[in-house]
Homo-oligomer: A and B are copies of this chain.
Amino acid sequence: MTITLRQLAEQARSASRQLANLSTERKNQVLLAFAKKIRENLDLILSANQKDLESADRLRSQGELSDSSIQRLKLNTVKIEQMAKNFESVAALPDPVGQVQLATRLDEGLDLHRISCPIGVLLVIFESRPEVVVQISALTLKSGNAVILKGGKEASESNACLFGILDKVLKEFTDLPDGTVNLLQSREAVSEIVQQNDCLDLIIPRGSNALVQHIQQHSRVPVLAHADGICHVYWDQSASLSKAMEIIIDAKTEYPAVCNAMETLLIHEQIPENEIKQLLTKLQEAGVEIRACSAIMKKFSNKLNGIIHASEQDWKTEYTDLILSVRLVSSHEEAIGHINHYGSGHTDAIITEDRSIAEKFMDQVDAANVFWNASTRFADGFRYGFGAEVGVSTCKTHARGPVGLDGLVIYKYKLYGSGQGVARYHEGGRQYLHQPLSRLN
C-alpha cells in the first residue's frame, strides 16, 4: 500500500507524539535489535550495494561520478559491522530526553520544571554514504524523534535495503508507531515534503550550500545546516615550525574532502622565510597546490615551482581538495579580521605560544569551533566525545558545531500548581519566590 507524501508527513507527526514518551529501555531494545538484524543481513546489504556500484561504474565511465564518490558509496564487511556497532554505541549513550534543566519554586505549591523533550519530526537529506541511514536512525530514535530520510540517488538500492531491515525490526515492536523512520527516494518527493510545514519541525540538509539555500527558500521549517566549511589556520610568529608543520599538514592533507579541512593558511610576516619555505615545500610534496597572496608570490615565486597567484575568489572558496590559499598577515588582528570577513564560521585555528593572543583569537573569531594549537580536523562529534553526530552546524541558533543527541532535543516547561490563577499575585497580593530547586537528575 502506498501512501501520499501528505499522509507520510502526518503519520510521522503522529508517530513523534508517541515516540516522545517511549522509555529509554524500550528505545535501547530497538537499537540493539537493529544491530542484530544488520549483522544477520550482511549478504543482503552487500548485494544491494553491488547494484548501486554497478550503476555508479557506468556513471564513472561517462565521467559523471568521481572515484572518491564511489569509495564513499562502497560498503564492505568492516563498514557493515561498524553500522551494527554504531547502533550499540548509541544505545549505550545517556538518554537526552527527560533531563531536568531548570527547577524553580515560583511559590509554595507552584513549582516550575524545564524538561528536555524531542523536537518532533526531522527531515534529513544526505548524499552518497549509505551508513548515514544507520547513523541518523540511531540518533533520532534515541532522542525520541520521528525521521524522514532522503538519501542520494546513487545509493538508492543500499539505502532501500538498510531501511527495509530497520522497518522490519520496527514492525516487530508492535508498540512502536508506524512512521517512526521513513525513507524518500526521489528529488520531487523532497520538494513536496518541505512544504508540509505543520508536520516538520527541523530540516537537516547534509549537502551543498546550494541545497541548503534552496530548502530555506522553499520551506518555512527551520533549517540546521552548514553552509561552507572555509576553515583557516593562522600561524602566529611565536610558534615553532615543528608545531606548525604537524597541525597544518594534518589540517590540509589528512582528509581534504571534508568540511573541517583547512582551506586558507594565514602566516605572520615575521616568520622566517626559510621556515615558510620548508612548510610550503612539504605541502607541495603532499600534492597540495598553493595559491598565494602577492607578498608570498614576491618572496617565493622564484624559489618554489607551481605557486599560483590567489584571486579574490580564492579566499572565499571551499576547495575540499588538495588546494590551499596562503596569505601573509602583519598581526593576529589582521588574521582575525580576514577570518571574520572571508570565513564561514565553521572551524578556525591559531598556532601560537602566546596564551593571551590565543584567547583573543578564540574570543574574537566568530566561528562554531575555535582552536588553539590543534588541527581543524578535530571539529567532529566522535572526536568531541558525543558518540555520534548528525552533522556540523554553522547556524547561530539552536545548535552550533558538531551536533549530537543534545542538538535533537528541545524542552517544555511543566508547572505543578495547586489551583492558582495569576490574579493572586497582583499588586498587594502574594509575591513570587523564584527559589531555585536543586536539580533532580
Contacts and interface: CB of A to CB of B under 8 A. Distances in A.
A265 interface: no
B417 A374 contact: yes
A414 B413 CA distance: 30
Interface string A392-422: 0001111011100000001111111111111
A368 interface: yes
B410 A400 contact: yes
A423 B106 contact: no
A324 interface: no
A422 B250 contact: yes
Q: Is the interface of A mostly helix, strand, loop or mixed?
A: mixed
Nearest to A367: B412
A201 interface: yes
This chain: copies in complex: 2
Contacts of A363: 20-21
A99 B280 CA distance: 39
Contacts of A417: 371-375, 378
A139 interface: no
A171 interface: no
A85 interface: no
A233 B280 CA distance: 69
A411 B400 contact: yes
B372 A416 contact: yes
A191 to B, nearest CB: 16
Contacts of A396: 119-120, 201-202, 222, 410
A250 B423 contact: yes
Contacts of A232: none
A65 to B, nearest CB: 27
A120 B220 contact: no
Contacts of A362: 412, 414
A352 to B, nearest CB: 11
A371 B415 contact: yes
A104 B387 CA distance: 13
A366 B419 contact: no
B385 A420 contact: no
A112 interface: yes
Contacts of A249: 421
A409 to B, nearest CB: 10
B410 A378 contact: no
A364 interface: yes
Nearest to A219: B216
B254 A421 contact: yes
Given A213-B220, A224-B397, A340-B17, A374 B415 contact: yes
Interface in A118-168: 119-120
B368 A412 contact: yes
A213 B363 CA distance: 35
Give the one of A120, A378, A383, A422 with max B CB within 10 A.
Answer: A422
A421 to B, nearest CB: 3
Contacts of A216: 220
A434 interface: yes
B220 A254 contact: no
A432 interface: yes
A227 B143 CA distance: 25
Interface string A416-440: 1111111101000000101000000
26 contacts: A17-B366, A20-B364, A106-B378, A112-B385, A119-B397, A201-B397, A202-B396, A213-B220, A222-B222, A222-B395, A254-B421, A254-B422, A351-B419, A369-B412, A370-B415, A371-B414, A372-B417, A373-B419, A374-B417, A374-B420, A375-B420, A377-B421, A378-B417, A379-B413, A383-B432, A397-B410
Given A246-B419, A247-B421, 9 more contacts: A119-B397, A222-B396, A246-B421, A249-B421, A251-B421, A254-B423, A368-B412, A374-B419, A398-B398
Which 7 pairs of residues, A with B, have the shortest CB-CB distance?
Answer: A250-B421, A374-B417, A385-B434, A216-B220, A398-B398, A373-B417, A377-B422
